[in-house]
Chain A
């Protein structure tokens, strides 16, 4: 009756598969978020007009940045959601311990990030299609309109890695909040406070440095390493911090 040999790997696999089914609503919300982003973008992200004499011209800019930005936000909040009490409690209805729950959560978030990467980049393609039909091909001027498959796959990979970072950050913040409710106030305060004070100061270099460390990396391999390293630190800390948390209180 008593079964031994319930390995961590086996449990993580079961929990991971369970979560793919259980958290399906997150994928639906991903689609919704991106549709909203596309709708926003379809109105144009900027415009410029000028002219002289009898000649005037008007430019409207479109960019798929908003889609990526919204997807990053989605990834962050999805990760936070997974750390909330109801979701953590659900992990203990069947079989699991904190380690297996955390690992399966991270596995899920990586999968979700991959899905998010694909849909975000393809959302950009969809945007181009929408603009083609709404504006007409003669009205579109762009260097980046036709995207090669190579560029698309690089974009997917890059977005995937950024999403993993967003998830890792979200998970870490979520766990902090679980440890102490005070973080609900402290974390946003830290974030906005840093933004405000730094932009007011002349010494904006520190924030720039941190930001550019990730964003301005030109070597892809190095970028990959940086992302994996940072995500590992964030996920690892989340694991250690949450390992003694009580559930089903």
Chain B
């Protein structure tokens, strides 16, 4: 699938989501009654913002469907993309995000002490990103352990924050 087609499809989905969001803001905003001291009401401005979003979403949709461009060619920089070899890896980013969610869940439910969950989170993430060797395992354990304990000590003892 060409990049152009993928971008256009993404734009269409984006426009639909924006329209839903904008319409939601309009509907919820208009439901809020004005108060005695504020005849305009606290829902009017969000409703106006929602209306603006719907209008802009329509422009994005029109642009995606008809190839009508609005300021899309404004990139100031091109040609500096030969700075090095880059290997895009979407799975790596998605995997890291999912792992961060699991880390947050462990903190939310206080399954293990903060330092332990942070150590496991960091070590696993580093190992997932690093080439594996005996040396890298050792380094990972030492650095992750030091970071986790240091953060725990700083936040709990110095800043007096009750970490999960």
Partners in one complex: no
Residues of A within 8 A of B (CB): none
B: which residues have CB within 8 A of A? none
